[in-house]
Amino acid sequence: MDLATGSGIRRLDGTAIGVPVRVGAVDGHALESRARRLSGRSIKRESKRAGLELAITCIDLTTLEGSDTPGRVRALAARATRPDPEDPTVPPVAALCVYPSLVPVAAEALAGTGVHIASVAMAFPAGQTELASRLAEIRRAVADGADEIDIVINRGALLAGDVAAVHDEIAAAKEACGEAHLKTILETGELGSYEMVRLASMIALAAGSDVIKTSTGKLPRAATPPVALCMAEAARDFAEQTGIEPGLKLAGGIRRSKDALGYLAIIAETLGTDWLTPERFRIGASSLLNDIVLQLRFMRTGRYARLGSLPAD
């Protein structure tokens, strides 16, 4: 399965795909060692406070459950704009991410707040329906108020070697988004190797995705420091080769403040501190927000607050 060459990503017939970005091999041992070192760095108290507040501004507060209701979405919209009811200085999150059917509710609840409305689409999370209906789902979500769309890469096609199908579906999704930003989920836990993670990252970016994202959060294996570093290096190399600076979103299993700070360190060291903004970096999470708020309360008061003092997820 020859999916890439030193000169760029190619279809099975040998013709080039999209931007001729170079893919390259991945040294897994070195990647894991560097990720472990970066994510394990200790952070001083004042830097920790700034890092936690920064992490909040980069969160996509997410609810993607079969039991989601308009009431739950409205409650999360209130949390998105004011994460700590006791402290108005805590900044709002970047976005609220919901299913397409609940986009109108989120759009109404967040009107005028500056918090973005993100919607999963393209038959999330499996993506196993015909393409026309998946693209129609994107257009409907955008028409209803979503300004960010999260789709899942066609893992079956990628693993089968059909790079053209993967690339062309993402390109079609980007066109369907119009002015909305496209985030492409790689579902890294199903790709099997760092080489496939890097390849999937490059294909998605070459196809026009604004952001590459780790996971749907529906699998046991999701975001990990080595995968985050692998994708950050792909984003860095894509930017160097094309002049286009893509975004990166980490999602799936990020629940603790300590983990969020570790990922911030990986991004800062790999892509630079300019990437640590909601425009270029996101964390997809739900329970993480409460953990950060509790940490900030402790730093402010010196007392540990109970989790029950915050809204339930």
Catalytic residue among 60, 84, 183, 249: 249
- Annotated active-site residue 174? The verdict is no
Catalytic residue among 84, 147, 183, 213: 213
Find, among 16, 15, 28, the residue nearest to 227 by Cα.
Answer: 28
Quick one: CA dihedral 282, 259, 244, 183, positive or negative? negative
Q: What are phi and psi of 126, to 5 degrees?
A: -85, -30
Measured distance CA(247)–CA(62) in Å, rounded: 18
Find, among 268, 212, 214, the residue nearest to 55 by Cα.
Answer: 268
- Annotated active-site residue 213? The verdict is yes
Measured distance CA(310)–CA(165) in Å, rounded: 45
CA atoms within 13 A on the CB side of 267: 26
Catalytic residue among 84, 150, 237, 291: 150
Quick one: CA dihedral 143, 145, 149, 154, positive or negative? negative
Q: 221, exposed or middle or buried, with CB in 10 Å at 0-12, 13-18, 19+?
A: middle
- Which residues have a catalytic role annotated? 150, 213, 249
